[in-house]
């Protein structure tokens, strides 16, 4: 068992805040399975802390075996898991986006859990790129990382000003979004490739972005007095399922 000082603990805990993640370009990953996925991925893992339960000493050049109590102090979970890794945030250069793929664009998704679930859905549906507006929740925050269950290692996530991005992409791509006044998604022709925009939890797709949508879709409710709206992660699941089904 190695000791871990006050300063080191404070440093690790500071990465729960975006301000410090942005400065250090580092984030934390917790849980054996998630850490395993990051170790096996192209992500640059800086350090792995582990308790007695699993032996990670041979898995990485820089590991530290610590007490459960110390682990609880550096963890962002109510009940700490046996492993915590410090991982580098990949560089966020905006690559030219491939026109021959299906891409998700997120217009100010606020909830870290929703963002994590959407990243996991993208992984499931073979969507490799997610373009996030600058006010979308941070993909490297502890709650989002937790919710992605390792899918974060397989998805290319880029934060950028969404309007100019969509504007420049709109010439060659269909841009889809869900709206109350859209066409029934079950009966609309959907292209194999294109960009699907998902809107903010409370406000939906912003007016500015709505002007760039070339195909407005509606997910119809099946009940008379149904829930007013679907949660955005549910809407993403249904929308992606429809796109992929057509081209299965």
Residue ranges that bind a second copy, judged by CB under 8 A: 117, 120-121, 123-126, 149-151, 154, 184, 186-187, 219-228, 230-231, 233-234, 237-238, 241-242, 244-245, 248
- Residue labelled with tokens 């350090």: 47
Q: Which is nearer to a second copy, 66 or 219 (CB)?
A: 219
Report strand pairing: 194-199 vs 83-88: unpaired
At 85, which helix (H) or strand (E)? Answer: strand 83-88
Tokens (6 digits) for 59: 């898995």
| Stretch (H or E) spanning 156 | strand 156-159
For a second copy, the closer of residues 183 and 242 by Cβ is: 242
For residue 161 the two structure tokens come to 């000003």
In the complex, minimum distance from the CB of residue 134 to a second copy, in angstroms, rounded to a whole number: 26
Which residue is it, tokens 């959907």? Answer: 190
Report the residue number, 66 or 199, with the smaller CB distance to a second copy.
Answer: 199
DSSP annotation of 151: G
Rg (CA), the chain: 20
Shortest separation between residue 224's beta carbon and a second copy, angstroms: 8
Nearest-approach distance from CB 214 to a second copy, in angstroms? 23
Q: How far is the CB of 171 from a second copy (least distance, A)?
A: 26
Neighbour-count burial of 1, counting CB atoms closer than 10 A to its CB (0-12 exposed, 13-18 middle, 19+ buried): exposed
CB 231 to a second copy: min, Å: 6
Q: How far is the CB of 194 from a second copy (least distance, A)?
A: 15
Q: In this structure, what token pair is assigned to residue 94? A: 């905006």
Measured from the CB atom, is 106 or 166 closer to a second copy? Answer: 106
Nearest in space to 151 (alpha carbons), one of 119, 191, 188, 126:
119
Question: Looking at beta carbons only, is 2 or 192 nearer to a second copy?
Answer: 192
CA distance 76 to 170: 40
Name the residue nearer to a second copy (CB basis): 43 or 49: 43
């Amino acid at each position: 068992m190695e000791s871990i000082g006050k300063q080191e603990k404070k440093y690790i805990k500071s990465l729960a805040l975006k301000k410090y993640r942005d400065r250090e370009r580092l984030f934390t990953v917790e849980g054996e399975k998630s850490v395993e996925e990051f170790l096996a991925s192209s992500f640059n893992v800086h350090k792995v802390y582990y308790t007695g339960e699993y032996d990670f000493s041979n898995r990485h050049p820089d590991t530290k075996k610590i007490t459960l109590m110390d682990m609880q102090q550096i963890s962002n979970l109510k009940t700490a898991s046996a492993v915590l890794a410090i991982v580098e945030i990949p560089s966020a250069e905006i690559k030219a986006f491939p026109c021959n793929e299906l891409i998700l664009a997120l217009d100010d998704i606020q909830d870290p859990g929703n963002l994590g679930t959407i990243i996991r859905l993208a992984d499931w549906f073979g969507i490799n790129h997610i373009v996030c507006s600058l006010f979308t929740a941070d993909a490297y925050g502890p709650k989002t990382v937790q919710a992605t269950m390792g899918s974060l290692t397989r998805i290319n996530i880029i934060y950028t000003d969404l309007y100019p991005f969509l504007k420049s992409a709109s010439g060659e791509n269909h841009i889809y979004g869900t709206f109350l006044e859209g066409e029934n998604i079950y009966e609309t022709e959907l292209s194999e490739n294109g960009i699907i925009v998902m809107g903010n939890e409370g406000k939906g797709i912003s007016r500015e972005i709505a002007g760039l949508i070339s195909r407005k879709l509606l997910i119809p409710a099946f009940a008379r007095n149904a829930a007013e709206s679907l949660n955005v992660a549910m809407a993403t699941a249904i929308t992606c399922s429809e796109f992929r089904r057509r081209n299965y």
